[in-house]
Amino acid sequence: MRAVVLADGGLSVEDRPDPVPAEQELLVKVEAAGINGADISQRAGRYPPPPGAPVDVAGLELAGTVLEVGSQVLRFKAGDKVMSIAAGGGQAELCVVHERVAMPVPPSLSPLQAGGFPEVFTTAHDALFTQCGLGAGERLLVTGAAGGVGLAAVQLGVQIGASVVASVRRPEHHEGVAAFGAKVVNPAEVADSGPYDVVLELVGGPNLETDLGALATCGRIVVIGTAAGASATVDLRQLMSKRAVLRASTLRARPLEEKATAARLVERHVLPLVRSGKVRVPVAASFPLEQAEEAYARFASGKLGKIVLEVG
């Protein structure tokens, strides 16, 4: 099979052996695979794959057709359309995923949209609801809201009945993000639009002081991105006086049980919104697998929505 290979800071598209599904795994003929910030970090040597994941084949999400199932697979069969998170290996012609993290592709999603759905919506849903318990009527701040996870979080927050403020650095993206139902502000205006019950921090350490200062009493901050820096100074007295919660989370290296639970929650709560058209996957651009270098460059240049590789 052909696959996107990340090694020593470089990227290439090379032949790799076809994967073989284990007893509870699906072998998927990949049709589309999203690019995420984790792929950029892995390429730079800052995000090594967890044990058991492909060492150098990129890709944390994919969509395609089941070619073969393991002997103990119960839910899916050959020919089914599925989408799934992966610990790695999604940006290839073939990928194996555990059946418990796979989801059926709703008819309302194109292959490209399905390929850009699993990682960002699972990450956003887990952070907002499992980690922070966002509820109707609360005020949510999403930083770095023009990316895949940010736009997923904005939509989920709006659909739950929260008041959503989106921090977006590039003025050319403001109108596009606002179309999803958020009040869009420049990063310098974040404090003026608070206080916030929940802050989804996608940018990193430099924002944390502002996040905490604009947090409501009993507010919750969850950090799931550090592109602008991984270090921050926290005034513990502010945390104490606001009875605040500061959390941080990643999805990739979690145990199977936790990933399976996250997938079932997305399937139960988010896929109905996708089917009804209330939530969508905006694809900013797509590239053939052999043009993965160009796709990664497009991701790094800044975009509104997802960058997706067309594989099959």
Q: What pLDDT is stored for residue 158 in this prediction?
A: 98
The distance in angstroms from the start CA to the end CA of the chain is 11
What are the Cα distances from residue 256, in Å, to 24, 85, 97, 251, 276? 12, 11, 11, 10, 29
Q: What pLDDT is stored for residue 106 in this prediction?
A: 96
Q: What pLDDT is stored for residue 230 in this prediction?
A: 86
Domains of the chain: 2-117+253-310 (3.90.180.10), 121-248 (3.90.180.10)
Those residues whose C-beta lies under 8 Å from the C-beta of residue 84, and which sit 6 or more positions away, are 26, 28, 61, 62, 63, 97, 101, 102, 103, 118, 263
Instruction: Supply the DSSP symbol for 47.
Output: S
CA nearest neighbour of 287 among 11, 73, 7, 8: 11
Q: Which helix (H) or strand (E) holds 262?
A: helix 256-269
Q: What pLDDT is stored for residue 204 in this prediction?
A: 92
- Residuewise pLDDT in 10s, the chain (312 residues): 999 999 999 999 999 999 999 999 999 999 999 999 999 999 999 888 999 899 999 999 999 999 999 999 999 999 999 999 999 999 999 999 999 999 999 999 999 999 999 999 999 999 999 999 999 999 999 999 999 999 999 999 999 999 999 999 999 999 999 999 999 999 999 999 999 999 999 999 999 999 999 999 999 999 999 888 889 989 999 999 999 999 999 999 999 999 999 999 999 999 999 999 999 999 999 999 999 999 999 999 988 999 999 997
Q: What pLDDT is stored for residue 303 in this prediction?
A: 82
